[in-house]
Chains A and B, each alone.
Chain A
Amino acid sequence: MRDARGNRRQPIGLRLWLSGGWLLILACAAIFAPLIAPQDPLAQDLFSGRLPPFWESGTEPGFWLGTDSLGRDVLSRMLYGARLALIVALVAGTLTCIIGASLGLIAGYYRGWPDRIISRFVDIWMAFPPVLFAILLIAVIGTGLTSIILAIVIIDWTRFARVIRAEAMGQGAMDYVASAQVAGRTRFGTMLTEILPNVLPTIVALLTLEMGIAVIVEAILSFVNLSISTDAPTWGGMISEGRTSVHQAWWVLVFPLITLFLTVLSFSQLGEGLKDRFDPVLR
């Protein structure tokens, strides 16, 4: 009665390698930014404005990826930008996930009045235009790292709540949940030991996706000058600056843009890859 599907382990796919690798590099860059950044990210030098990247003519040593119109080093700003991007991704992503997933789990598994309250709340919440909401919030409590994180949590917890609610509802109807209850388990215990492990792959996928979204939202807010402060080194801020001088100095726009793109892509690919890996049925 042996089964061919046995205990075979899937090798880590290329997708996981690439996305995980890029994020690891980024994390290192963020952690060690003060050590590896060749210049001070805030130091302006109007005499060395718009220096091109190292392979073009007219460069100066130490400014590998060129400088912006105020003479700030693009590479150093990007390294420090990784710090802000990753802090926002981790903190905002995790908070959003914890709040949204808990509410979704409770609504989907308990049903009844907890579900009615939470679902109604989600519906009302989603009737607000989210970006307007975030801008309003920042207008009220001011710009800064905390308000960006808050804005992301406020906009996006409903995504977790809705998806996890649906999943928990499906799992809750399965016979193994009934069996656990017949065996005398409490409802809360059943939720934690039976339902949660089964929705975990989805939570992980949503979480990493959310981290990517957090990076984008932070960039958008920087782009419209609602992020941390005008000269703080953020990717969004750099993109917004680079946009105005793209004909004279394309590198100010292109390097942060590519980094942003790769990062967001990596987050979503990492999520998908992890989901496949954690899901015992797909594994």
Chain B
Amino acid sequence: MRPFLSIRNLSVALKNGGLILRNVSLDVAVGKVHGLVGESGAGKSMIGKSVLGTLPRALQITGGEIWLDGVDLLSIPPAQRRKRIGATAALIPQDPLTALNPTRRIGPQITRRLVDILGWTKADAQARALELLEEVQIADPARVMRNYPHELSGGMRQRILIASAFAAKPKLIIADEPTTALDVTVQKQILRLIADMQARHGSALLFVTHDLGVVSKVCDALSVLYAGKVVEDAQMRRFFCRPVHPYSRALLAATPTYTNPTGSLMPVPQSVIDAVEREVVQHDRRWRA
């Protein structure tokens, strides 16, 4: 099946020249969950932001293609691009604290998307928003719609953000470490919720995380990112049985397992890091030539 999101050889650089993403390619199929793992600073969020067109101003796309539903986003004019992205994709952000506008009530923040993107009437959007809040298991949705974000807990806010991401029926959801800002018990509930919503709505999901444990629970395939370079791209089962790249192997070894919670907490060996760094340098040399 043709992938819904297909990133081909995407390069992103700082405007002053430093490379952030190096020839990244990855595919996400309809109805599938694609994991994106890598250490902090590897460039995971920048992949999501490139797709959604929200890269920080200091960064720019220097090459590659981003195919979304059969159209290369980078080859169409910006206004059209924004429209397409708005109609087909949505983001579940990392930090539920800054992802809701503090000066507006919850209700309008959800319904606005429905009115903006799908052209619904206010009343229809209102009804749908209530449904969505119920779907993400919020008690007393009518009251929550009237609350301001600061009146709600982090877990509730993340539920609201999930509801609002799925609101306009996007075919692609990008979840950028959606559980990192929450405490462990809430993390599990939210993770299950996202997986359920994804299955029910059949959307493609790009799931950014640095937790291989989480990946093994929810993903169908994954890409491992190091310093802006994809070092391994594999189906789930294959990855956990036979990881190819030494960095992936080290990463797996560094992930605590249920049967051996502490024994496997090994740091990634320096030799492996050196090897990946060499690959990155080689890539840059080829890229410059």
Contact = CB atoms under 8 A, between A and B. Distances in A.
Nearest to B99: A175
Given A5-B150, A184-B82, A176 B91 contact: no
Contacts of B138: 1
A138 B56 CA distance: 46
Interface string A178-209: 11111111000000001001101000000000
Nearest to B83: A184
A198 B102 contact: yes
B161 to A, nearest CB: 8
Interface stretch (B151-159, B194-202, B237-245): B151-159
Contacts of B107: none
Contact of A181 (B82, B99, B102, B153): B82
Contacts of A194: 101
B117 interface: yes
A112 B151 contact: no
B129 to A, nearest CB: 14
A14 interface: no
Given A7-B151, A183-B117, A280-B150, A176 B86 contact: no
B106 to A, nearest CB: 12
B153 A175 contact: no
Contacts of B116: 183-185
B86 A179 contact: no
A180 B112 CA distance: 9
Contacts of A180: 101
Nearest to A195: B101
A43 to B, nearest CB: 53
Interface centre among B103, B113, B139, B168, by most A CB within 10 Å? B103
B53 A181 contact: yes
A280 B146 CA distance: 13
Contacts of B87: 184
A3 interface: yes
Given A1-B138, A1-B156, A111-B57, A182 B90 contact: yes
A280 B138 CA distance: 22
B86 A178 contact: no
B89 interface: yes
B139 A1 contact: yes
Interface string A197-231: 11010000000000000000000000000000000
Nearest to B161: A179
Contacts of B232: none
Contact of B102 (A3, A179, A182, A281): A281
B86 A280 contact: no
Contacts of A132: none
Given A183-B86, A183-B116, A176 B54 contact: no
B95 A6 contact: no
Interface centre among B116, B138, B153, by most A CB within 10 Å? B116
Given A112-B57, A182-B91, A183-B113, A3 B153 contact: yes
B152 A3 contact: yes
Interface string B29-49: 000000000000000000001
A141 interface: no
B150 A281 contact: yes
A280 B102 contact: yes
B150 A184 contact: no
A197 B151 contact: no
B151 A5 contact: yes
Contacts of B90: 182-183
B121 to A, nearest CB: 17
A194 B164 CA distance: 16
B104 interface: yes
Interface string A155-184: 000000000000000000111101111111
A184 B52 contact: no
Contacts of B67: none
Contacts of A179: 91, 93, 99, 164
10 contacts: A3-B153, A178-B54, A179-B164, A180-B101, A182-B90, A184-B87, A184-B117, A197-B101, A197-B104, A198-B102
Interface of A: 1, 3, 5-7, 111-112, 173-176, 178-185, 194, 197-198, 200, 280-281
